[in-house]
């Protein structure tokens, strides 16, 4: 048995528990797209730095409470009456009495839920229920319904303050627990400071899988594991590691009425009252796979809860298509975190969507703030939203060595370093810095156009905002060397009427020489562009203002060698008297390569750029 060296509650463990090698075989699992499941299976143990109460914390194995990882999912079930056949099945006498769910065989095209009554052959069994409609070569599952057994095991582990360990296997979670009168596995804390430690045998090895079609039958709030914090006293440590959470969206035979119908159907969820005073000392989630989610993957929606330390690492996501080959769900995040914590750490994850989005009733303050660090990860979309600006200087996001397609930041200060970012929809922020980052500008070949980076996007700003790009590269995401696409690399879609409100600094950056234009600073606040290598086949920089919208462009020590000889270095849109161009450039031909449009302002008084 593996042991954990424990310190007193709320302090840190410095030892690791190593998983023992398990010789039992995992039942054959057939997925809709088996190639999507990685073959390399890393194995970790309970991580370091996890506080566990008491001097000794022993393990109990879930099998003691009847849990069986014997679930099998196949794609070639045929059901005629109550005779079920599958050429790839291997039924045995041990399968008698197990739960079965067969797609499209129930009433109104739903799944047929039944049990195995008699084994006829390794490929044929008799069910207790007849099909409402006979089916041929459909998806289905059979195995032990573990909802009652896992609940008993979880309750016992918490009561005894022991680690709950699961062997390899697929643990099917059925529709309803007759004992608890719920359709979820509840995490219930009875004593203040109690811990919850659930450990599998490895990602892809221990799989908690929702029974086929369960969310379709049970609806919006169908979850696998659920911890309602309003019913719990303060919690010690929560440790979850080395298993997969499979919401089994591929088994659904119908799409929801809208993309929001099943949005609360999470795999693992914490929830609480918006005015509750819940507290958790630490949460450590590691080596977890989120499979075929329907709502969110790991969801922490109790934004008023204080978590001292929240670590999520080595988490990945696998998604399949539904039986109809149309995915009309899974719009929620793989990770959704909204608690108060000044120590949220996300590292070594490979995910589609990570969201930190507190609700409006729980804005950050100096006393209750949110600070998150994300490192060494690939995340298609990362979105951090804080309502309003009351948390200015309180909410902070730091990212290092990240690859992301969309970076959406709302009302939170940020620092992004050493990362690769595709053109995001918006960077709607209050103060941020990009350092040593590579921005990939999406190229649309059909329109010969690039999608720019939107440095800021505000409908209105009530606080000063500063965005800095330092030592960054702006590169067209195309290997075609001869293209000269329309558009520019960097702009701000905010329309600014006060120069102090929006400041953007571009320092020591380089721009792809194929660009039509590098920067559009037209009517968009104060821009400082310095020490950068600019490019343009038409014009390097757009400046100027119109109506009440202000622009100030401060240029110094830039390199224009990649601007084509027949292109302009600066275009001044002279449509009001509010714009300014200033600074100092060392380029003797600069003055002759300025173009202006409009005659509202004074070029002589508003353009004070010195040419050396």
Which residue is it, tokens 């620092």?
A: 415
Full 3-state SS string of 180-228: CCECCEECCCCCCCCCEEEECCCCCCEEEEECCCHHHHHCCCCCCEEEE
- Is the Cβ–Cβ distance between 506 and 474 less than 8 Å? no
Q: What is the CATH number that goes with domain 74-143? A: 2.40.10
The pLDDT value given to residue 27: 31
Note the Cα 392 to chain centre separation in Å. 23
Average pLDDT, 10 consecutive residues per value, the chain (612 residues): 37 33 33 31 35 62 98 98 98 98 94 98 98 97 98 98 98 96 94 96 97 91 90 90 95 81 89 70 97 91 86 92 56 87 95 80 70 95 73 78 89 92 72 94 95 72 78 97 94 65 92 96 91 97 91 96 96 95 92 94 95 90
Nearest to 490 by CA among 508, 514, 469, 470: 469
Residues in CB range of 396: below 8 A, 6 or more apart: 370, 371, 372, 412, 413, 414, 415
pLDDT given for residue 16 in this prediction: 32
- Number of alpha carbons in the 13 Å side-chain half-sphere of residue 571: 20
Cα–Cα distance for residue pair 267/208, rounded to 1 Å: 9
Considering only CA atoms, which of 598, 525, 537, 604 is closest in space to residue 569? Answer: 537
Of the candidates 358, 449, 439, the residue with the CA atom closest to the CA atom of residue 404: 439
Predicted confidence at residue 466, as pLDDT, reads: 85
User: What pLDDT was estimated at residue 289?
Assistant: 98
Tell me how many degrees the CA angle 399-424-515 measures, rounded to the nearest 5.
110
Instruction: Give the residue extent of every domain in the chain.
Output: 74-143, 145-314, 437-611
Structure tokens at 455: 């440095």
pTM for this prediction: 0.86
**Nearest to residue 414, comparing CAs of 458, 377, 465?**
465
Nearest to 207 by CA among 30, 345, 354, 33: 30
Q: Residue 243 corresponds to which tokens in the numbers above? A: 């298993």
The answer to whether the beta carbons of residues 524 and 492 sit under 8 Å apart is: yes
Distance CA 196, CA 521 (A): 53
pLDDT score at 430? 73
Query: What pLDDT does 271 receive?
Result: 86
pLDDT of residue 360: 53
């Amino acid at each position: 048995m593996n042991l954990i060296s424990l310190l007193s509650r709320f302090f840190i463990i410095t030892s690791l528990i190593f998983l023992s090698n398990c010789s039992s075989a995992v039942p054959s699992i057939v997925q809709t797209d088996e190639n999507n499941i990685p073959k390399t299976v890393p194995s970790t143990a309970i991580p370091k730095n996890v506080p566990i109460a008491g001097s000794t914390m022993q393990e109990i194995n879930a099998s003691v409470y009847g849990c069986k990882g014997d679930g099998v999912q196949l794609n070639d079930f045929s059901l005629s009456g109550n005779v079920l056949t599958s050429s790839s099945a291997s039924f045995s006498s041990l399968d008698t009495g197990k739960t079965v769910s067969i797609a499209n065989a129930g009433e109104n095209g739903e799944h047929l839920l039944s049990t195995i009554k008699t084994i006829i052959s390794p490929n044929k069994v008799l069910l207790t229920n007849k099909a409402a409609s006979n089916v041929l070569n459909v998806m289905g599952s059979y195995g032990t319904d573990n909802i009652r057994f896992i609940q008993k095991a979880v309750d016992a582990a918490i009561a005894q303050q022991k680690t709950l360990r699961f062997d390899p296997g697929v643990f099917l979670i059925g529709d309803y627990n007759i004992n608890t009168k719920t359709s979820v596995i509840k995490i219930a804390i009875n004593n203040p400071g109690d811990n919850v430690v659930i450990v599998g045998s490895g990602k892809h090895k221990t799989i908690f899988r929702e029974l086929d079609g369960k969310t379709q039958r049970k609806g919006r709030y169908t979850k696998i594991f659920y911890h309602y914090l309003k019913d719990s006293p303060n919690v010690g440590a929560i440790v979850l590691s080395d298993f997969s959470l499979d919401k089994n969206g591929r088994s659904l035979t119908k799409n929801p009425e809208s993309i929001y119908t099943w949005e609360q159907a999470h795999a693992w969820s914490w929830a609480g009252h918006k005015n509750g005073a819940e507290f958790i000392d630490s949460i450590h989630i590691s080596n977890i796979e989120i499979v075929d989610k329907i709502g969110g993957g790991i969801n922490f929606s109790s934004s008023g809860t204080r978590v001292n330390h929240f670590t999520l690492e080595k988490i990945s996501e696998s998604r399949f298509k539904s039986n109809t080959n149309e995915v009309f769900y899974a719009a929620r995040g793989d990770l959704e975190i909204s608690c108060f914590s000044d120590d949220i750490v996300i590292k070594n994850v490979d995910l589609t969507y990570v969201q930190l989005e507190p609700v409006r009733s729980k804005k950050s303050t100096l006393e209750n703030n949110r600070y998150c660090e994300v490192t060494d990860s690939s995340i298609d979309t990362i979105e951090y939203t804080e309502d309003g600006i009351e948390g200015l200087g309180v909410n902070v996001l730091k990212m290092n060595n990240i690859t992301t397609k969309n970076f959406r930041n709302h009302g939170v200060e940020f620092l992004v370093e050493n990362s690769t970012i595709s053109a995001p929809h918006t960077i709607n922020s209050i103060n941020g810095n990009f350092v040593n980052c590579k921005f990939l500008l999406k190229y649309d070949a059909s329109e010969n156009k690039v999608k720019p980076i939107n440095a800021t996007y505000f409908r209105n700003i009530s606080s000063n905002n500063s965005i800095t790009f330092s030592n960054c590269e702006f590169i067209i995401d195309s290997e075609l060397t001869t293209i000269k696409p329309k558009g520019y690399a960097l702009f701000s879609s905010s329309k600014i009427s006060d120069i102090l409100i929006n400041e953007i600094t571009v320092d020591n950056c380089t721009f792809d020489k194929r660009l039509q234009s590098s920067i559009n600073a037209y009517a968009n606040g104060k821009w400082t562009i310095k020490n950068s290598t600019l490019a343009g086949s038409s014009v390097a920089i757009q400046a100027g203002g119109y109506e009440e919208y202000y622009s100030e462009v401060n240029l110094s020590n830039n390199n224009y060698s990649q601007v084509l000889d027949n292109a302009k270095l600066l275009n001044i849109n002279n449509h009001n008297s509010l714009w300014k161009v200033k600074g100092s450039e060392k380029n003797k031909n600069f003055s002759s390569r300025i173009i202006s449009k409009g005659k509202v302002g004074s070029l002589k008084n508003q353009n004070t750029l010195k040419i050396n």
